[in-house]
């Protein structure tokens, strides 16, 4: 029986002893690590119909997802109150596959899971091992080897609103020492016409500039549209047990008006926001002695906002002159050593060198950025200045050097500890020290207490530090300066955000088929990078008069505390029916303030109470999965105009999804799936509202159906 088949038939007791690698940097049993980890196996990924990483995260306690609510990231994900997609780290086979410098990225269909053997989600800061951006946690997608796939499988899906999804995977052991797996997907969807389902939220109104000019009259306005596209390519080649070469490429495209109100943007299919991320790595594992082993990792990551990305909104006066561009890349080398001091103690230590290059997000352009020309030969001018104000393009080179060490000790069958620390010295900002302390107490083999303290930092992205955007009205003042209603100002003095985390966890296995996990945690973060209005306005563009400006600055702090509960139960019914049942509850409370002396205000984009239930029932070759989410009201990014310590909120909702599947349907190796999302066809809202031009409550998708047909060769 293959390792994959073994995972498919494990009891909860056996799953509690599945080997994980993300928490401590080496293979260990789930109950042996001090970290709090959620592990999802391939069986669960398939039967719960987690098509991509955002689907999986949405089912976990402590996670809030505001779907289809922000232009540059599409889904706004909050992990235990840590806001947005740049505060957790995404790895694949232990290697970073997300943006190395641009900050927030879309987490949607560009992170597929059909090639995953398991996904490990580590809660809490892990900068002591992984460095920058492991602020709220780390997610590691562990892929299958070619020998586990051993063949090929394809799947084609169609659904409502012109939904199309194709994916394929092939793998084999080419020889006794060579193993290869290749996979990829392509996807597109028009998504639902929200103007039809939420007419009160999408009225056709005049498109009026900040200075009162009507660019498009209401009767000439376009219908709502919001198509999305994605594709990915993955390959992994293993040569003996010592060398692995991996390649991953992902692409995501949505409209740049995602989350914008009708009076602030034109809903045009050509107004796209398109990101591409490519990574390639090589790992070399070696044994120096029977106690000392090592791993050398070389990796390259490149991400880019496509030069065809553009806004057609109020900030560029609704003109077709809002092209965007940015890119970053990282080349790194890491040498890690693993030393077994004795049967009870293990020391992991290593050195890291990273070299970065970035072109931060640049102002709105009249024409797409020309990648074939150097920065100083772009010959671009600020839109609305009649070709008189040239844009000065800037790039950035910087590096990071790090050293880390981690001692893990088993003192006796009941007590274990972990001590770790990492030092990072970045040429852009101050050096950081990040410690980690963990204690495991096994009251019985089936009842385990874990206590964790850790610190982490999030590096300021190059776009936060140097990115600018805004537009000009086309008018001049008495001095001949071109007038801008708004601009974002660069800030080269940004420092990292810091997080301190304390957590107590209790995991209990009541029987081989019933387990529970309780976690209570406290987080304190400071030096937060927040958007701040500037008074007086920063006149940083020569020849311009800027009427309003803001800047990213280190001024904020926040505190959040909460409780996460997970329950898992397996049961064998009569007549050949068996089932898995799971439940997750998350409670979170806390505050954030923009300055040390400012007012405390509720955390944005979280529901204080989240209940997530699910069940999978199987009968022979058939299965059915039900997922039920019940969320309390969710706080938006908009302050209550009548109470500056309170936020406006989106109402709570209940959402029900149903999934049906069958294998060997008519023909051997043929599978069929039907997915029904929002079964009860609820009209519900995601929390949004971080600017006057965006929705405070973003309307969400109605009921949709997807039919999939797969075949395994």
Structure tokens, 449 = 């207490």
Q: DSSP string spanning 624-690?
A: EEEEEEEE--EEEEEEETTEEEEEEEEPPEEEEEEEEEEESSSSTTEEEEEEEESTT----EEE--S
SS3 6: helix
pLDDT surpassing 50 at residue 566: yes
CA proximity to 466, closest of 493, 496, 491, 497? 491
**Confidence band, pLDDT 50/70/90 cuts, at residue 538:** very high
Give the pLDDT score at 599. Answer: 87
pLDDT surpassing 90 at residue 557: yes
The answer to whether the beta carbons of residues 306 and 276 sit under 8 Å apart is yes
CA distance 325 to 306: 6
Lowest mean pLDDT among 92-101, 408-417, 468-477, 574-583: 468-477
Residues 6+ apart with CB under 8 A from 702: 192, 197, 678, 681, 683
Tell me how crowded residue 151 is: count the other CB atoms within 10 A of its CB. 12
pLDDT tens-digit profile of 123-177? 999 999 999 999 999 999 999 999 999 899 999 999 999 999 999 999 999 999 9
β-bridge pairing 82-83 and 74-79? antiparallel
The answer to whether the beta carbons of residues 6 and 17 sit under 8 Å apart is no
Distances (CA, A) of 315 to 201, 263, 393, 545: 21, 12, 20, 15
Phi/psi-derived region of residue 8, left when phi > 0, alpha when psi is between -120 and 50, beta in every other case: alpha
CA distance 336 to 404: 9
Structure tokens, 654 = 């209940």
Lowest mean pLDDT among 11-15, 175-179, 534-538, 646-650: 11-15
CA proximity to 600, closest of 610, 590, 608, 609? 590
Supply φ then ψ for residue 307, to 5 degrees: -65, -10
Query: Is 604 buried (19+), middle (13-18) or exposed (0-12) by CB count in 10 A?
Result: buried
What are the structural domain ranges in the chain? 3-712
CA distance 583 to 588: 17
Place of tokens 């996670």: 63
CA proximity to 634, closest of 653, 612, 647, 650? 650
SS3 575: coil
Lowest mean pLDDT among 2-16, 95-109, 263-277, 406-420: 2-16
Phi/psi-derived region of residue 35, left when phi > 0, alpha when psi is between -120 and 50, beta in every other case: beta
Residues 6+ apart with CB under 8 A from 572: 578
Supply φ then ψ for residue 640, to 5 degrees: -70, 120
CA distance 467 to 50: 35
Residues 6+ apart with CB under 8 A from 706: 157, 158, 159, 160, 163, 165, 673, 674, 675, 677
CA distance 578 to 36: 28
pLDDT tens-digit profile of 454-483? 999 999 998 889 888 888 888 999 999 999
The answer to whether the beta carbons of residues 303 and 274 sit under 8 Å apart is no
CA distance 676 to 29: 36
Supply φ then ψ for residue 159, to 5 degrees: -165, -170
pLDDT surpassing 70 at residue 9: no
Structure tokens, 488 = 């974002």
pLDDT surpassing 70 at residue 1: no
Specify the length of the chain in residues: 713
Q: DSSP string spanning 375-429?
A: GGG---B-TTSTT-SB-----EEEEEEEEEEEEEEE-SSSEEEEEEEEEEEESSS
Residue of 80 and 361 predicted with greater confidence: 80
Q: Which CATH architecture has domain 3-712?
A: Beta Barrel (2.40)
Place of tokens 């209603």: 485
Structure tokens, 690 = 């971080």
- What value does the mean pLDDT take over residues 317-332? 90
């Amino acid at each position: 029986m293959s390792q994959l088949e073994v995972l498919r038939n494990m009891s909860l007791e056996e799953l509690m002893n599945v080997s994980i690698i993300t928490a401590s940097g080496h293979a260990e049993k789930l109950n042996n690590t001090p970290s709090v980890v959620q592990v999802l196996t391939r069986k669960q990924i398939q039967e719960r119909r987690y098509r991509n990483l955002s689907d999986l995260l949405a089912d976990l306690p402590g996670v809030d997802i505001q779907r289809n609510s922000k232009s540059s990231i599409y889904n706004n994900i909050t992990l235990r109150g840590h806001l947005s997609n740049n505060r957790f780290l995404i790895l694949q086979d232990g290697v970073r596959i997300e943006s190395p410098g641009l900050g927030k990225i879309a987490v949607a269909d560009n992170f597929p899971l059909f090639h995953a053997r398991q996904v490990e989600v580590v809660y809490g800061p892990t900068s002591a091992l992984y460095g920058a951006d492991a602020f709220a946690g780390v997610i590691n997608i562990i892929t299958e080897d070619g020998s586990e796939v051993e063949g090929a499988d394809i799947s084609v899906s169609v659904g409502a609103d012109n939904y199309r999804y194709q994916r394929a995977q092939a793998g084999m052991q080419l020889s006794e020492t060579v193993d290869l797996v290749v996979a990829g997907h392509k996807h597109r969807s028009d998504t639902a016409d929200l103007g039809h389902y939420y007419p009160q939220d999408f009225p056709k109104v005049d498109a009026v500039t900040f200075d009162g000019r009507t660019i498009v009259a209401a009767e000439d306005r376009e219908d709502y549209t919001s198509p999305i596209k994605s594709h990915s390519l993955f390959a992994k080649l293993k040569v003996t047990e010592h060398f692995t070469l991996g390649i991953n490429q992902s692409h995501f495209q949505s409209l740049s008006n995602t989350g914008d109100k009708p009076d602030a943007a034109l809903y045009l299919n050509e107004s796209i926001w398109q990101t591409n991320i490519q990574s390639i790595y090589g790992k070399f594992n070696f044994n120096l002695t029977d106690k000392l082993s090592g791993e050398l990792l070389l990796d390259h990551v490149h991400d880019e906002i496509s030069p065809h990305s553009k806004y057609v909104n109020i900030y560029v006066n609704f003109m077709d002159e809002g092209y965007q561009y940015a890119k970053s890349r990282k080349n790194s080398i890491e040498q890690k050593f693993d030393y077994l001091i004795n049967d009870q103690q293990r020391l992991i230590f290593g050195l890291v060198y990273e070299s970065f290059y970035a072109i931060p997000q640049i102002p709105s352009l009249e024409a797409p950025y020309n990648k074939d020309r150097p920065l100083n030969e772009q010959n671009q001018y600020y839109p609305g200045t009649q070709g008189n104000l040239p844009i000065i393009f800037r790039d950035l080179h910087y590096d990071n050097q790090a050293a880390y060490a981690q001692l893990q000790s088993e003192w006796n069958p009941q007590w274990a500890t972990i001590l770790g620390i990492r030092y990072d010295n970045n040429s852009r900002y101050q050096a950081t020290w990040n410690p980690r302390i963990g204690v495991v107490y096994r009251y019985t083999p089936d009842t385990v207490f874990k206590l964790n303290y850790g610190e982490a930092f999030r590096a300021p992205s190059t776009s936060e530090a140097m990115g600018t955007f805004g537009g000009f009205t086309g008018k001049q003042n008495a001095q001949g300066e071109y007038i801008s209603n708004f601009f974002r100002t660069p800030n080269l003095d940004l420092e990292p955000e810091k997080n301190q985390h304390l957590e107590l966890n209790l995991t209990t296995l009541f029987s081989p088929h019933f387990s529970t996990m309780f976690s209570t945690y406290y987080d304190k973060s400071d030096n937060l990078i927040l958007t701040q209005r500037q008074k007086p306005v920063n006149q940083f563009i020569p020849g311009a008069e800027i009427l309003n400006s803001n800047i990213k600055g280190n001024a904020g702090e926040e505190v959040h505390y909460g409780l996460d509960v997970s329950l898992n139960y397996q049961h064998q019914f009569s007549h050949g029916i068996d089932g898995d049942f799971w439940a997750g509850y998350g409670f979170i409370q806390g505050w954030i303030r923009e300055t040390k002396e400012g007012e405390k205000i509720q955390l944005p984009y979280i529901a204080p109470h989240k209940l997530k239930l699910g069940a999978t029932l199987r009968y022979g070759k058939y299965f059915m999965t039900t997922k039920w989410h019940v969320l309390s009201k969710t706080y938006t990014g908009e302050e209550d105009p009548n109470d500056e310590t309170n936020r406006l909120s989106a109402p709570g909702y209940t959402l029900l999804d149903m999934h049906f599947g069958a294998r060997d349907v008519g023909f051997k190796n043929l599978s069929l799936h039907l997915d029904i999302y929002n079964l009860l066809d609820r009209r519900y809202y995601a929390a949004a509202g971080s600017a006057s031009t965006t929705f405070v409550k973003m309307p969400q998708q109605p009921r949709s159906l997807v039919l999939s047909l797969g075949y395994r060769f």
